Structure 1
């Protein structure tokens, strides 16, 4: 008798509405794949503003059919296309959900990688996983809720940014609508890709920040025979590398990574206006007058970000005699720390996994997840990342999505959203 009770308690337990959702996701699988092809075949590189708007129109069509009120927020002020914002008003007094995704990809209009190619239950294409696959999962889950009758009472706001891969500047404008939505929400669900580790689906309750920096050093130029002498000093190039070496020796701590992505030095050295190309001139027998390096660092909390900035600035300030050194920090993505509230959301997702007879999802090491839009609301609302499909090779030609993973992700999302949306605030 006791064994029977234990087995009954451990058995999957879906309500009739939840069972309808799972059947709907399976029945509409090919429809979802066809929509993914439509989205992928429309280029929407961040700087292809008409392309981003076109993807936005497709998403508007799908969301309006589900009863959402949809608006487009232009972002010309930050030289980006804009954001799609969709609102579904449900029962008063129940939890409000914020769903996050993005319309753009890293593949611009001149990329040779442009088309959706299906191979069974996999497909490659620009943004097939990141994040057009995520948007398709979101829609599949919402359609399943509609079929089961659970969408009607749900309070849901969706923000699909048009510049997640290359945010407009400043973030105060580019992310104002997302931040405002986070303040209204009781839970945030991010539909970027599912993390898979050793064949197991993982839950993501944290994302690290992304912070840029540019280091510039100067020195007394002259004939190379005078290098290191008291009148001349070390020159700009040696001072740059000395400071970078101090970063390497003195900055390391848990959950922090830092990188030098670009550097140059010589009689002259400069970065282009976008900070992605460097030019330099000089000769082997001339002491460099200037050197420049650009990089990033990633942290797990805003407190860690502030601490690392302070340490980097102190190292730069202690430059060698006869040289100058300055560091400029660039606005980036904040951190999403692994809070108790985020862990509680993963517990709720794992309750869904149990009832779907799926394995439990452990929390992913945040070192294995990049920065993302949900971090802008992490200080205001509990969140969960990775509701999109599994994929590989993201951000590179050949990006490939596991189409079959869209099914289980849509089922998880539909049931989780239904359960959360029924709770009182």
Structure 2
């Protein structure tokens, strides 16, 4: 370790014996079921984070969020309560402001069979959310603790957002990132890195939609000719939508769930389809919306058929600005000094980093732990990544703060 991080070496070395403590904190958080719609479980994680963040002496705020809205298989809107968000704030008057974030929820609901943590070997644990994102939360907090011990801390202010709904699109917590973006110069989010330690760079945008088709139910034998088959109409919509996949570069439409009908002696009067769209460029969004509206209009023009479209694009594409490129370069320099070669890879996945980038905040959103097989019961975390990933974040924060104190080195931010 040398060069850019030399001034920080005494502080960074404090982490050398922290792995076991960090591992136990990760396990304690992951043992709490915090599926996105398990509000009580998410709030238990929030309570633990309140305790874990006390040494930072930051201002804490608990923020209730609006219910999550979705469309059920009958085509009706249902509302599900969410856990609260927790925010921290320290030195909002400092000349340089950073927003950090990590989500408390997982994709594993309270009734999911994947609920326990186990050791796979001496360097890997398997468990729900150990990598996505409980290990990242622990990395973030230990990096902030090092920053607070440094002589440059007063030159950088920070806020942290712990949100409860990232895995379902952050629709209710998006305004927290938008508010933070008004004062933040940079963002640091703690999604897991790629298994090899690489960081995610440019990201595709994402839209989640539900199409609900209404027809007319009649007896399939006596009055089939009077019925209007919602399954057939929605099938035509899905087929035409799927054909859009070849019409615009790197734009994908994925029908993911279809439900409708009932007894086969009844003409079905209702059918739904949930689908996802991924886009590469901001201008792709309006093209997709235009195409969908044309298809909706075409189907709804049929006698006795009505098609409704719900949802939208909750994640804009993350297009890397020059400032974001410079931030990645700084991460590479810190990583090299720590003996951690850092690569940056574009990805089709989305996260809150998309949102921050759309609000004009350059950010790195995969500063969490190394691991893999996330969103499955094979999810694992590399234990030995906890300390190095913490050193990387701490080095970034202290470099930014030191540059600010010296009045040089952060020009790319402004």
TM-score, with length taken from structure 1: 0.81
Identify if the C-alpha distance between structure 1 residues 410 and 254 changes in structure 2 by more than 3 Å, giving closer, same or farther. Answer: farther
Match of 1:22 among 12, 27, 31: 12
Who is 1:413 aligned against?
393
| Alpha carbons 1:21, 1:414 under 8 Å: kept | no
Which of 89, 103, 117 aligns to 1:87? It is 89
RMSD: 2.9
Which structure 2 residue ranges, 5 or more long, are not aligned? Answer: 69-80, 405-409
Distance 1:292 1:56, change over 3 A: closer
From 157, 160, 163, the equivalent of 1:161 is: 163
Q: 1:237 to 1:113 in 2, by over 3 A?
A: closer
Aligned pairs for 1:237-256 within 5 A? 237-252=231-246, 253-256=248-251
Instruction: For residue 159 of structure 1, give the secondary structure of its aligned residue in structure 2.
Output: strand
1:39 alignment partner in structure 2: 29
Counterpart secondary structure, 2:25:
helix
Q: In the alignment, is residue 329 of structure 1 matched against residue 328 of structure 2?
A: no
Contact 1:190-1:387 at 8 Å conserved across structures: yes
- The within-5 A match list for 1:373-412 is 373-380=352-359, 381-412=361-392
Greater CA drift, 25-34 or 287-296: 287-296
Deviates more, 1:53-62 or 1:288-297: 288-297
Shift of 1:219: 6.3
Compared CA separation, residues 254 and 365, structure 1 to 2 (3 A): farther
- Which residue is 1:358 aligned to? 340
User: Shift of residue 355 of structure 1?
Assistant: 2.0
1:3-402 superposed matches below 5 A: 12-75=2-65, 79-89=81-91, 92-93=94-95, 95-118=96-119, 119-166=121-168, 171=171, 174-196=173-195, 199=196, 201-216=198-213, 218=215, 235-252=229-246, 253-266=248-261, 280-283=262-265, 287-319=267-299, 321-322=302-303, 324-340=305-321, 341-362=323-344, 364-367=345-348, 369=349, 371-380=350-359, 381-402=361-382
CA contact 2:201–2:320 (8 Å) conserved in 1: no
> What displacement does 1:325 show?
4.2
**What is the number of residues matched between the two proteins?**
388
Which region of structure 1 is more displaced relative to structure 2, 184-193 or 410-419?
A: 410-419
The 3-state SS of whatever aligns with 2:162 is strand
* 8 Å Cα contact 2:169/2:315 also seen in 1: no
Structure 1 CA distance, aligned partners of 2:46 and 2:91? 21
Measured after TM superposition, the shift of residue 322 of structure 1 is: 4.1
TM-superposed deviation, 1:106:
2.0
User: Which is further off, 123-132 or 146-155?
Assistant: 146-155
| CA distance in structure 1 between the partners assigned to 2:47 and 2:99 by the alignment | 20
What SS is found at the alignment partner of 1:52?
A: helix
SS in 2 for 1:298: strand
Q: Secondary structure at the match of 2:340?
A: coil
Residue deviations 1:292-319, cap 9 Å, x none? 3222222234432221011011123223
In the TM superposition, residue 412 of structure 1 has moved relative to its aligned partner by: 1.3
Tell me the distance in 2 between the aligned counterparts of 1:361 and 1:21.
25
1-structure distance, mates of 2:253, 2:66: 32
Distance between the aligned counterparts of 2:43 and 2:228, measured in 1?
A: 52
Query: Can you list the C-alpha shifts for 1:197-249, whole angstroms capped at 9, x where unaligned?
Result: xx46234343522322314153686757998xxx7799433332222222122
List gaps (5 residues or longer) in structure 1: 1-10, 267-279
Q: Deviations over 1:310-359 (max 9, x none)?
A: 10111232237546242413145221422223222212211212222322
Q: Deviations over 1:172-201 (max 9, x none)?
A: x533222101221001111111023xx462
Q: Decide whether aligned partners of structure 1 residues 225 and 408 sit closer, same or farther in structure 2, where only a CA change above 3 A counts.
A: farther
- The question of whether the paired residues in 1 share the 8 Å contact of 2:118 and 2:127 is answered with yes
**Take 2:54 and 2:192, find their aligned partners in 1: how far apart are those partners?**
24
